[in-house]
Amino acid sequence: MTHRNKTVIITGANRGLGFETAKVLAGKGYEVIMLGRNEQELKKAQWEISNEFKEANTHVFIADLSNFNSVTQCCEHIKASFSKIDVLINNAGAVFADFGLTQDGLERTIAVNHFSYFLICYHLLPLLKNAGAARIVNVASHSHYPGKIDFESFTKNKGYFIMKAYEQSKLANVLFTYALAEKLKNTSITVNALHPGRVDTQIGIKNQPWHVALFWKVFTSISSVSVQKGAETQIFLATDTSVEGITGKYFARCKEVKSSRLSYDKILADKLWEETERLSGVNFEL
């Protein structure tokens, strides 16, 4: 089955889960927009896909997902180039060994892993609405289960620890997914989150001190799955007819599963939405 008239955006499409997803969807006939920070790596990934699938229709857009202005400008370029988006896959993620702030004054993990999802959805919502039955797929993680939200830690060092920051950002992904699905319930846009499995990727290795890279390598090597296996659930949510109309759910191994107790806290979700709006300067009206 081909999808010649379908357009998909994948963030972090230059490597790992994002690249695998881009490659599979290009092979299925999707027009694939590959979004990421490193232009050289993205173009190399684009070339590899075109080399494997001669008819692949791919595009590269550059954005630093930790920077509000960069995300905004990239989305404006996409809106100028495309009339609709059928699938948005928020896949890009990052971890950082030490506490640090972005140019916008946010802790880097929450900036990349949560705020970029929020801003990209905000800016590209008109194109998703134009598609009719569009899908938003947010890559979260089972790491969200022990996660808690400390709003002060979004901008201040509250005893920073790499896994604590990552768990918080992944819980934010699930809370955001449920909140956005509820707000879009009267539209034809669905929003779902997923756990890809503990995938042995370079998320915690690249640009990290040796001890952090070693810790992450050991962590991901325990019961880890291949990138191909890890990408299956986001590909399933992006393409499968069995999930048409299903929204506000959390998936693992291509099946709906329960997320953490805290992820269903609507008061917490509302506060996260409000704080994200406040800190990003965006009024996300639907």
Q: Which residues participate in catalysis according to the annotation?
A: 166
Q: CA 202 from chain center: how many Å?
A: 16
Q: Which of 262, 239, 255 is nearest to 173 (CA)?
A: 262
Closest CA to 10 of 58, 70, 51, 80: 58
Contacts of 243 (CB under 8 A, 6+ apart): 190, 192, 236, 237
- Which residue has tokens 């881009």? 22
Give 115's contacts (C-beta < 8 A, 6+ positions apart).
68, 106, 276, 279, 280
What is the secondary structure of 162-205 as a DSSP string? HHHHHHHHHHHHHHHHHHHHHHTTTSS-EEEEEE--SB--STTT
Closest CA to 208 of 40, 94, 93, 38: 94
Going by DSSP bridges, is the β-strand pair 31-36/7-11 parallel, antiparallel, or unpaired? Answer: parallel
